[in-house]
């Protein structure tokens, strides 16, 4: 995210935030007063979304000036973190204390609150999206009031309040499930025939704890990245050829930016993400779109994208296929169905990419695709809303917690029909 507030943009630079005022409070009380005194306010995390989900014309507040806290409760298998922290700030102290999170996204540079709010995910047949690990959260409401919600005590509303696009209030802290630390090893298989991946997707996606398939859809092969837990049996899948040197998932990018490979064991937090926390994985020279489909649609989606391959490949840096376990979070794109996700890292040329996004959606929407909230789509807000059965319940929740729409923005107004 650009640090010059007058021209602040998101990470990719495709959104220039329209905020009338920016704020970076130093204490919870300052933040509560700020919220109470504003007509229209929302939080921005690390600004990694490509969609306008974080934008506002009112007050935009960063939470990275608040006191950082990572409070582990080993007896409860939980950690409570301040919302402005990035995963990178959380995973190192957690690992030092002998604990781990179930999953991470491709990079740990993203904020916890912002990632959770959009249903951000990593990969793994048995692993939910990052929001699925949220056990409780604290929100600032429109009067500056504090609300605590938890999975155990508020089962009626909690599933609606986690993937909430910033529309229910400003999240100040989150409690996440943790488990004992575990070791992983990562290896890459190159020249895996796409035919094989499509024909036997369950075997490939089940070949390790976390699996990513990279392709540009233009050729006949893929790279398969396996992240296996060393305390579990290796399913033994051995497609293609094992890479003999470190790789970067994005062709042409230096392998040093990627996490350790070649099957060398190491802590979970140094293997689950593709990119190392201490290095910036690129300079925002890309655009992204992504879709969650029922995983049973994988073979049909592979066939459809391969038929578009000659059009897509020249405009792609890379594309990635991952899996996400079903959850019950109302606006989670993985809600109610084990999912396969199709991700596209495009060249940074919106005019060129826009028709390709529409072409991809033409073939994936009939297969049940739901777009990622933080990425680009050709759909209108109303079309997006129609893909989420619980949107009506979510709208009611917003009316209950934020009757005047203080935390709304153009994105959520369009979605909820409140603009
Ligand atoms: C290089 C790159 C790699 C990526 N890799 C992945 C990936 O592997 N998997 C994946 O699923 N996505 C991925 N994404 C997308 C990214 O994870 C999401 O866009 C995510 O939301 C980014 O988090 P953020 O902190 O930057 O959120 P922002 O973009 O800053 O905000 C997202 C939303 O969260 C809200 N929000 C932020 N903080 C708060 C708060 N404290 N209270 C209430 N609402 C809040 C904002 O208002 C907004 O609605 C990637 C993006 C980039 C740029």
Is the CB of residue 208 less than 8 Å from the CB of residue 228? yes
* Residue closest to 345 by CA, chosen among 229, 175, 217, 234: 217
Whether the pLDDT of residue 20 is over 90: the answer is yes
Q: Choose among 76, 75, 71, 106: nearest CA to 88.
A: 106
State the Cα–Cα distance between residues 188 and 224, nearest whole angstrom.
6
Q: What is the pLDDT of residues 169-215, one digit of tens each?
A: 999 999 999 999 999 999 999 999 999 999 999 999 999 999 999 99
Asked if 393 and 160 count as a contact pair (C-beta separation under 8 A), the reply is yes
| Residue 101's pLDDT band (cuts 50, 70, 90) | very high
Contacts of 28 (CB under 8 A, 6+ apart): 66, 172
In this structure, CATH architecture of domain 70-180: 2-Layer Sandwich (3.30)
From the CB of 170, is ligand 1 less than 6 Å away? yes
Counting residues of the chain whose pLDDT is more than 90, the rounded percentage is 93
pLDDT at 220: 95
Among the listed ranges 277-281, 353-357, 390-394, which one has the minimum average pLDDT value? 277-281
Sole residue written with tokens 């392998």 = 255
Over residues 121-144, mean pLDDT = 98
For ligand 1, whether the C-beta of 123 sits within 6 Å is: no
- What is the distance between the alpha carbons of residues 338 and 294, in angstroms, rounded to a whole number? 6
Q: Which fold does the domain 183-276+283-372 belong to in CATH?
A: Alpha-Beta Plaits (3.30.70)
| Structure tokens that stand for 114 in this block | 């912002």
Q: What is the pLDDT confidence band of residue 265, given thresholds at 50, 70 and 90?
A: very high
Tokens representing residue 318 in the block: 């890379």
Q: Which CATH number is correct for 5-62, 1.10.472.10, 3.30.43.10, 3.90.245.10, 3.20.110.10?
A: 3.30.43.10
Place of tokens 């837990």: 229
**CA 158, CA 139: separation in Å to the nearest integer?**
12
The predicted pLDDT at position 288 comes to 97
281 band by pLDDT with thresholds 50, 70 and 90? low
Q: Which two tokens stand for residue 92?
A: 């190192």
Q: Look up residue 74 and give its two tokens.
A: 């080993």
CB-CB contact of 100 with 73 (8 Å): no
- Which band of pLDDT confidence, cut at 50, 70 and 90, is reported for residue 164? very high
Exposed, middle or buried: residue 322 (CB in 10 Å: 0-12, 13-18, 19+)? buried
Tokens of 411: 């994105």
Pocket flag, ligand 1, residue 31 (CB < 6 Å): no
Is the Cα torsion angle 304, 309, 311, 317 positive or negative in sign? positive
Compute the average pLDDT of residues 344-350: 97
**How far is 311 from 17, CA to CA, in rounded Å?**
32
Q: Please choose from 8, 43, 45 the residue to mutate so as to test ligand 1's pocket, defined by most ligand atoms within 8 A of CB.
A: 45
Q: Taking 50 as the threshold, does the pLDDT of residue 31 lie above it?
A: yes
What pLDDT is recorded for position 3? 46
**CB distance 109 to 86 below 8 Å:** yes
The pLDDT value recorded for residue 2 is: 43
Confidence at 7, pLDDT banded by 50, 70, 90: low
CB 165 within 8 A of CB 395: no
Q: Can you tell me the mean pLDDT for 16-26?
A: 96
SS3 content of the chain, % helix, strand, coil (to 5): 30, 25, 45
Instruction: Determine the average pLDDT of the residues in 314-339.
Output: 98
Any ligand 1 atom below 6 A from CB of 374: yes
Is 127's pLDDT higher than 80?
A: yes
409 within ligand 1 shell (Cβ under 6 A)? no
* Mean per-residue pLDDT, 64-80: 97
Q: Is the pLDDT at 280 greater than 70, yes or no?
A: no
- Domain ranges (residues) in the chain: 5-62, 70-180, 183-276+283-372
CA of 116 to the centre of ligand 1 (A): 7
Our answer on whether the CB atom of 106 is closer than 6 Å to any ligand 1 atom is yes
88's tokens: 């990178």
Q: How far away, in angstroms, is 234 Cα from ligand 1 center?
A: 32
Question: Got the DSSP string for 114-156?
Answer: HHHHHT-----TT---GGGGEEEEEEE-TTS-EEEEETTT-TT
SS3 of 203, please? helix
Domains 5-62 and 70-180 agree in fold: no
Residue of 274, 239, 269 lying closest to 253 (CA atoms): 274
Average pLDDT, the chain: 95
Predicted confidence at residue 283, as pLDDT, reads: 56
- pLDDT one-digit tens code per residue, 232-259: 999 999 999 999 999 999 888 889 889 9
pLDDT digit string (tens) for 44-56? 999 999 999 999 9
For the record, the structure tokens of 131 come out as 């929001």
User: What string of H, E and C letters represents the secondary structure of 93-121?
Assistant: HHHHCCEECCCCCCCCCCEHHHHHHHCCC
| Cβ atoms of residues 268 and 98 within 8 Å | no
- pLDDT over 70, % of the chain: 97
């Amino acid at each position: 995210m650009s640090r010059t507030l007058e021209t602040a943009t998101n990470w990719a630079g495709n959104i220039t935030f329209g905020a009338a005022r920016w704020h970076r409070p130093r204490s919870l009380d300052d933040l509560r007063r700020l919220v109470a005194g504003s007509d229209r306010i929302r939080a921005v995390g690390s600004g990694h979304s490509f969609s306008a989900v974080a934008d506002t014309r009112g007050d935009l507040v960063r939470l990275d000036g608040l006191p950082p806290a990572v409070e582990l409760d080993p007896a409860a298998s939980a950690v409570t973190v301040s919302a402005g922290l990035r995963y990178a700030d959380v995973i190192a102290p957690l690992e030092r204390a002998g604990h781990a999170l179930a999953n991470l996204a491709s990079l740990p540079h993203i904020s916890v609150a912002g990632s959770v709010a959009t249903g951000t995910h990593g990969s793994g047949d048995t692993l939910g999206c990052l929001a699925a690990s949220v056990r409780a959260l604290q929100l600032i409401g429109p009067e500056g009031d504090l609300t605590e919600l938890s999975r155990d005590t508020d089962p009626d509303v909690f599933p609606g309040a986690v993937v909430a696009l910033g529309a229910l209030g400003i999240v100040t802290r989150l409690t996440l499930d943790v488990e004992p630390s575990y070791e992983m090893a990562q290896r890459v298989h190159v020249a895996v025939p796409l035919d094989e991946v499509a024909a036997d997707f369950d075997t490939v996606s089940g070949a390790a704890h976390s699996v990513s398939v990279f392709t540009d859809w233009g050729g006949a092969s893929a790279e398969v990245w396996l992240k296996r837990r060393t305390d579990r049996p290796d399913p033994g899948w051995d497609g293609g050829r094992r890479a003999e040197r470190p790789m970067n998932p994005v062709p042409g990018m230096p392998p040093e930016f990627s996490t350790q490979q070649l099957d060398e064991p190491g802590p979970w937090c140094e293997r689950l993400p593709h990119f190392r926390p201490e290095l910036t994985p690129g300079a925002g020279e890309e655009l992204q779109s992504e879709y969650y489909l029922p995983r049973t649609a994988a073979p049909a989606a592979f066939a459809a994208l391969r038929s578009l391959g000659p059009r897509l490949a020249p405009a792609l840096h890379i594309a990635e296929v991952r899996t996400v376990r079903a959850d019950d979070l109302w606006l989670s794109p993985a809600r109610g169905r084990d999912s396969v996700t199709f991700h596209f890292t495009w060249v940074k040329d919106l005019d060129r990419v826009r028709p390709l996004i529409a072409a991809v959606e033409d073939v994936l929407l009939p297969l049940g695709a739901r777009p990622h909230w933080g990425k680009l789509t050709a759909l209108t807000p109303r079309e997006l809303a129609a893909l989420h059965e619980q949107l009506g319940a979510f709208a009611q929740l917003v009316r209950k917690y934020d009757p005047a729409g203080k935390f709304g923005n153009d994105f959520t107004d369009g979605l909820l029909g409140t603009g």
